[in-house]
Chains A and B, each alone.
Chain A
Amino acid sequence: MSDLAVDVSGLNKSFGPRHVVQDVSIQVEKGRITGFLGPNGSGKTTTLRMLCGLLTPDSGEGQVLGLDFRRQAEAVKRQTGYMTQKFSLYEDLSIEENLDFVARVHELPRRRERVADSLERLGLTARRKQLAGSLSGGWKQRLALAASIMHEPRLLLLDEPTAGVDPKARREFWDEIHALSAEGLTVMVSTHYMDEAERCHDIAYIAYGRLMARGTAEEVIARSGLVTFRGEGPGADRLARDLAKASGVAMAAPFGAALHVSGTDRAALEAAIAPYRKPPVTWTEVQPTLEDVFIRLMGQSSDNFQ
């Protein structure tokens, strides 16, 4: 057996006239955490849904967990955990009843024991009679995660799991994801947060239905060919508007009081900032951040939905 948990190619999906996913091919190694990034409506959710059998691809072939993901969708479902973007447990059931339902639907043996274990791990044993709808955002998300891994899937798909969750809860969530991955679980997670992207082993950047970049965070940054200068000093951030228009500058984005100016042509970029190389602003070359790279990628890809 190969050590690829996901190996699909030529994925396509259209909703009416909108070609939401275009020829996406993706390989994910077992036990890795792959981050799915890209602008809203770029096809991240659709791709995840196709992988777990919630949507039927228009075309595309390949294997998920060594199974033909189109013909053996049922078998794939049984070994895949999926956590939806919106909280999708029953708000009018208690925490325990929700977990019990999930355990029953998956026909898990030793059901009571597993529900109890799950509650214990969540630290919700004392609150198990509480209605799921009354939980805070962070707890809901942890409960949803617990529910989606209860049947011990080999692949876990997370669709923007941390939207609207506070930083501490996010940190704990990611610790949990890494712990699961260390046990051999393959994770695919879509996110808009750059810090989360950096916590992934691999990144896949999708824009407007196309896979634009793939690799580790370092690889994606290196391959972008982007050069970035950081301007600091009073008023540096105010230069953004002028610099963005200068030739050789792909983008200029204020970061607090500082300014990041990026371009692919080093000489042209240096020429562009030359007029502003004077006190009080000081310029230094910095490593482009993932965000720089992504905003650049976003600007490059044509928005075919407009």
Chain B
Amino acid sequence: MSGAVERRSGLSGARILAVLIKEFIQLTRDRLTYAMILVMPIVQLLLFGYAINSDPRDLPTAVLVQDQGPMARSTLSALVNSGYFEIVRTASSPAELDAAVARGEVQFALTIPADFTRRVVRGDGAQILVEADASDPAATGGAIAALASLPRTALSRDLVGAASKPGADPFEVVIHRRYNPEAVTAYNIVPGLLGVILSMTLVMMTALGVTREYERGTMESLLATPARPIEVMIGKLAPYVVVGLIQTTVILILARVLFAVPMAGGWIALGLGVLLFIVGSLALGFLISTVARTQLQAMQMSFFYMMPSILLSGFMFPFRGMPDWAQALGSVIPVTHFLRVVRGALLKGLDVVALWPSLGALALFVVVIAGAAMARYRTTLD
């Protein structure tokens, strides 16, 4: 008897081993968990390690060159040579330039005025204008820093002769940070958080919702009733649309009150985007729950979706900083498009027409995912 008591009181290696072995066996039984443990670090390391770049280069730039002189050409090539700018559009009017920035088609717009060469040669306060879409300060920071040294280096070869005046820069770069002149990170992050928070709660909640019914056995009863799949889906998802709308309202109010995030308008586009995004997230959650067998698996799948939504969507790191393949991957994620809608509407005041590409992408996502979820949801237990 004393032996038994002693055995109970000590720390038993054998008993720890027993639990340990059991735990390992269970771990390998759940194939999805097993796969996640192995695949997650590899995929994410490769994906995010190569994709994320907080100092983006080759940013799309539109130019309006009104001066045909040699100084303008040299300045342009110096700009490109800095590595930060890639000229994707040559505008013919200031309005065109403006629109390209507003739509988010380009990050920078450069204007070289008609009298540029003349003023440089005369040393008469030459200027070029760079307008930056600074809604994401991180995306423009490096490039703007590079602009500082442009006047000194750009024309060094052209001005070896008489016109070079030591000590003074031959021209000035005027930088307009549009949409976020003070480069407040919160202006970019807070609207972005709307997308992240909505998808985090909505995808996960619905993913667990259906799986829970299967796990608890209530689905068996539900399926034995005359309720149709579409009826179950709508009934289960509708409450979360309300949840999503409440979250949106709370986040927007806090964004305004605590962070003074500018709200330039675009309310209709924002509303439409929010609605599409909520429905899309819910449909995705529903799809996950038709695939996952347990609530744990549903959690893991939701998590697997969340990581790229945060890292590849342009939420945390500049979208344009990523290599093309990562941008392509990011374009599949609805959060990417939602962020463009939210930032476009709030910071730039864009309307439905201007945000159409992103809204269209969200709508497509809703249709595809809801269709897949419907197709997968069964009225039987087969």
Contacts and interface: CB of A to CB of B under 8 A. Distances in A.
Nearest to B220: A84
B221 interface: yes
A49 B226 contact: no
Contacts of A54: 220, 223-224, 380-381
B152 to A, nearest CB: 70
B3 interface: no
B381 A90 contact: no
Contacts of A84: 217, 220-221, 224
A149 B382 CA distance: 25
A88 B380 contact: no
Interface residues of B, number: 16
A53 B380 contact: yes
Nearest to A159: B220
B225 A105 contact: yes
A106 B221 CA distance: 12
Contacts of A55: 380-382
Interface string A83-94: 010111111000
A213 interface: no
Contacts of B15: none
Contacts of B226: 74, 77-78, 105-107
A52 B220 CA distance: 11
Contacts of A106: 225-226
B382 A56 contact: yes
A91 B216 contact: yes
A82 interface: yes
Nearest to A13: B382
A89 B218 contact: yes
B16 interface: no
B227 A105 contact: yes
Contacts of B216: 88, 91
Contacts of A34: none
Contacts, number: 49
Nearest to A50: B380
Contacts of A77: 224-226
A89 B227 CA distance: 15
B221 A49 contact: no
Contacts of B222: 105
Given A88-B216, A91-B216, A52 B224 contact: yes
Interface residues of A, number: 23
Nearest to A86: B217
A243 B223 CA distance: 50
B217 A87 contact: yes
A80 interface: yes
B225 A102 contact: yes
Contacts of A105: 222, 225-227
Interface string B205-235: 0000000000011111111111100000000
A86 B214 CA distance: 12
B73 to A, nearest CB: 72
A88 B217 contact: yes
A88 B221 contact: yes
Given A54-B380, A55-B382, A56-B380, A89 B221 contact: yes
Interface in A42-57: 49, 52-56
A77 B381 CA distance: 14
A80 B221 CA distance: 12
Interface string A147-182: 100000000000000000000000000000000000
B236 to A, nearest CB: 13
B221 A82 contact: yes
A176 to B, nearest CB: 19
A56 B380 CA distance: 7
B106 to A, nearest CB: 53
B278 to A, nearest CB: 24
Interface string B368-382: 000000000001111
Contacts of A49: 381
B245 to A, nearest CB: 24
A55 B381 CA distance: 6
Nearest to B235: A105
A56 B382 CA distance: 7
Contacts of B224: 52-54, 77, 80, 82, 84
Interface string B255-276: 0000000000000000000000
Interface string A51-79: 01111100000000000000000100110
A54 B227 CA distance: 12
A55 B220 CA distance: 10
Nearest to B227: A105
Nearest to A52: B224
Nearest to A49: B381
A25 B222 CA distance: 27
B222 to A, nearest CB: 8
Interface string B147-178: 00000000000000000000000000000000
A88 B381 contact: no
B197 to A, nearest CB: 25
A88 B223 CA distance: 11
A54 B219 CA distance: 10
13 contacts: A52-B224, A53-B379, A53-B380, A54-B381, A56-B380, A56-B382, A77-B225, A82-B224, A87-B217, A88-B216, A88-B217, A90-B218, A106-B225
Q: Which 6 A-B pairs have the closest CB atoms?
A: A88-B221, A86-B217, A82-B224, A88-B217, A105-B225, A84-B220
Interface of B: 216-227, 379-382
Given A74-B226, A88-B218, A88-B221, 18 more contacts: A49-B381, A53-B224, A53-B379, A54-B220, A54-B223, A56-B380, A77-B226, A82-B221, A82-B224, A84-B217, A87-B217, A88-B219, A91-B216, A102-B225, A105-B226, A106-B225, A106-B226, A147-B221
